[in-house]
Structure 1
Amino acid sequence: MLHTTLSGDGPTLVWAHGLMHSTEFESRTGWFHPDQPDPLRRVRFDARGHGRSPGSIDPADYLWSSQAGDLLSLADAQATGLYALGGHSMGSASALLAALRAPEKVSCLVLATPPTAWHTRPAQVRRYRQMQRIIQQRGLASLVSLAAQNPALPAWLLAARPGDAAASLDALAQMHADDLLAILDAACQCDLPPAAALEQLQIPTLILAWRDDPIHPLETAQRLAAALPLAELQVIDDVNALHAWPASISHFVLRHAADYSRL
């Protein structure tokens, strides 16, 4: 069973975290969720093999399509009527795939720092394969040590909030090596759908992007915004704007929950 946390009261937002992160990581950083309950009912969970959720050594369990299924199952169990879906990086990909699978259930989408996709994906796959080799040859502790020397955060964010890098390292260090090998193998097999599929998705979508992060390139966010018919794109490059993201998410979900209630 997936480890799940619930907070707040109001329209439901079911949220998925990023690769090698967890709900604990997102609570520590505060990038997407407020410190106190707000006018949303936030349903957050640790993906398989992450945080406090059990994992497996089968890569099929970690494909974005499999995570989309987990997301929909949890949303159907936790929400009555329409719900919002959202996520960060890997979680944004699973939320998008879930919405494509069941658009009639989704009031709106929030896609935060979408991952590498399409022509930028092969370079990221090479990074994942290199990470696998490090784990296999030298162990997970060596990967954590190398990650500490090369934090995967924009320089402007790292300079202002070095503790966020420490939170990322802690999340990575708590993973099981065998699970992580399978997770990375699955990530190498994943990509976002083609633009032609995205153009059919008539769901209001908020895309949150930041600059100067090759793992979450602005180009992916821009191409998603161009393809999704009802997309809004916000791009930031400073921590003051980052601090506004939790409220932006809440306002967006509340606005579209109200829109649907009037139909």
Structure 2
Amino acid sequence: MPYFTYDHIQFYYEDDGGNGEPFIFLHGLGGDVNQTFGLMKQSDHIRRISLDFRGHGKTAAFGHVDDFSFKQFAEDVMALAKYLHIQRFNLGGISTGAGVSLHLALRYPASVKKLILSRPAWVDKPQDDLVCEAFSKIHDALQDTDTLTARNLYENSEVYQTMNSLSSYAGESLLGQFNYPYVRETSMKFVKLPKDCPNDDRNAWRNLKMPTLILASQLDPIHPYAYGLLLSEHIPNAQFIEVTSKTINNKQHNHDSYDAIKNFLNKR
């Protein structure tokens, strides 16, 4: 299995060695490379690259809890690009991965050829109070009890019931966090990341010159449709596409997203 070492951490990554331009595609909070490689199937003219963020997937180590941040995650991605000897690349992400991509594009614009923000879950501020509570309660539930009991406590909590009523997929995603073998050890990610943000000034988005694709859907309280619209209004070369909500049809959502990303990357 491919790993590279940075900041005393062994990061798991995947690189399909495709014959096209490199596309670094980043997963969401609690996800891993299976999320990005599962959505973005192998495609002509696209070299797919992804990594498990620190405290995620096969990269269980994370350093200090303060390293659960968009700034640090972006540095980790740049370290992977350097390791692979890639100076410029297409960049995108889902949810947290979109936030990392936005942060990286703002800090290292010369490195990013095209930018893709799929289901952005942050704008220029932390996530809203309900979402922050929904994630932080995962951490709280895991204190002083076993994972199965913690999951049951969480499933019966008011904040989970509220999120599940807003979107069955959001509820499924939140409960799914308890399936990660290292969820207890890495649970501070659910506290730190929702309270962080990719940047704190939306006017800075106007400085992004690279072609940008933004995907968003309705019925998604963790990834508000309005966030995608807001980003598209401030990023000069942004194309906005509404995709099917995962709450309605997960398979169709993935199909819509894949087609939009593939067409965007292959457009000259």
Is the TM value for this pair above 0.5? Answer: yes
Superposition CA RMSD, Å: 3.0
Identity of aligned residues (%): 22
Structure-2 separation of matches of 1:51 and 1:103: 28
Residue 89 (str. 1) matches residue 98 (str. 2): no
Structure-1 separation of matches of 2:140 and 2:231: 32
- Corresponding position of 2:235: 228
- Corresponding position of 2:184: 177
Distance 1:148 1:232, change over 3 A: farther
- Determine if contact 1:21/1:51 at 8 Å carries over to the other structure: yes
**Displacement after TM superposition at 1:126 (Å):** 2.3
Structure-2 separation of matches of 1:80 and 1:147: 42
Distance 1:186 1:119, change over 3 A: closer
- Corresponding position of 1:4: 13
More helix by percentage: 1
Higher RCO (CA-CA < 8 Å; seq separation 6+): 1
- Corresponding position of 1:243: 255
Letter in 2 for 1:5: E
**Displacement after TM superposition at 1:139 (Å):** 4.0
- Determine if contact 1:9/1:39 at 8 Å carries over to the other structure: yes
Q: Which runs of 5+ in 1 are unaligned?
A: 159-164, 259-263
- Corresponding position of 1:106: 112
Distance 1:170 1:184, change over 3 A: closer
Letter in 2 for 1:15: F
**Displacement after TM superposition at 1:184 (Å):** 2.0
Residue 253 (str. 1) matches residue 265 (str. 2): yes
Residue 21 (str. 1) matches residue 43 (str. 2): no
Distance 1:86 1:215, change over 3 A: same
The secondary structure found in structure 2 opposite 1:108 is strand
**Displacement after TM superposition at 1:130 (Å):** 2.1
**Displacement after TM superposition at 1:252 (Å):** 1.3
Q: After TM superposition, what 4+ stretches of structure 1 lie above 4 angstroms from structure 2?
A: 145-158, 165-168
Deviation string, structure 1 residues 152-196 (Cα, Å, up to 9, x no partner): 7898985xxxxxx58982774323312222x12321430242211
**Displacement after TM superposition at 1:24 (Å):** 2.5
- Corresponding position of 1:64: 70
Pairs aligned (count):
247
Distance 1:253 1:167, change over 3 A: farther
Structure-2 separation of matches of 1:45 and 1:153: 29
**Displacement after TM superposition at 1:49 (Å):** 0.9
The secondary structure found in structure 1 opposite 2:143 is helix
Could you state the TM-score of these two structures normalised by the residue count of structure 2? Answer: 0.80
Distance 1:82 1:188, change over 3 A: closer
Distance 1:40 1:148, change over 3 A: farther
Deviation string, structure 1 residues 198-253 (Cα, Å, up to 9, x no partner): 11111211111111010011111111111111111111235435313223212212
Deviation string, structure 1 residues 126-166 (Cα, Å, up to 9, x no partner): 223322211114443344446778697898985xxxxxx58
Distance 1:244 1:157, change over 3 A: farther
- Corresponding position of 1:134: 141
Could you state the TM-score of these two structures normalised by the residue count of structure 1? Answer: 0.81
Structure-2 separation of matches of 1:197 and 1:89: 20
